[in-house]
């Protein structure tokens, strides 16, 4: 699958699950299980319950996602744009 087909959404982490997974509630109210992206793991970016995150989902399975960015309170910077 090409990366252009991914759906990008924002949400809030509700619960930290075992095996580096998280239960996330999206802005539209849906709940899904997400894992952190490889670059987030590589740079040791911690995700805790209550964090606002950006995530990518496949249009074929909307119950799973990949967390790509953790929004820090007090900063207005959006996630970096990919070209």
Does 76 fall in a domain? no
40: domain CATH number? 2.40.50.140
Which pLDDT belongs to residue 5? 87
Residue 3, SS3 per DSSP: helix
Render each residue's pLDDT in the chain as its tens digit; 83 residues.
566 689 999 999 999 999 999 999 999 999 999 999 999 999 999 999 999 999 999 999 999 999 999 998 876 666 666 65
Domain count along the chain: 1
Residue-range definition of the domain harbouring residue 21:
7-71
Q: pTM for the complete prediction?
A: 0.82
* pLDDT of 80: 65
Residue 15 resides in a domain = yes
Integer Cα distance of 24 and 47 in angstroms: 11
Residue 80 lies in a domain: no
Residue 79 lies in a domain: no
Q: Is residue 11 in some structural domain?
A: yes
């Amino acid at each position: 699958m090409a990366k252009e087909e991914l759906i990008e959404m924002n949400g809030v982490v509700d619960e930290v699950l075992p095996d580096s997974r998280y239960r996330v509630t999206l802005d539209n109210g849906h709940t899904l299980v997400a894992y952190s992206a490889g670059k987030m793991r590589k740079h040791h970016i911690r995700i805790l319950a209550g964090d606002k995150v950006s995530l990518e989902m496949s249009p074929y399975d909307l119950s799973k996602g990949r967390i790509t960015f953790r929004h820090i309170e007090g900063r207005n910077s959006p996630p970096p744009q990919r070209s």
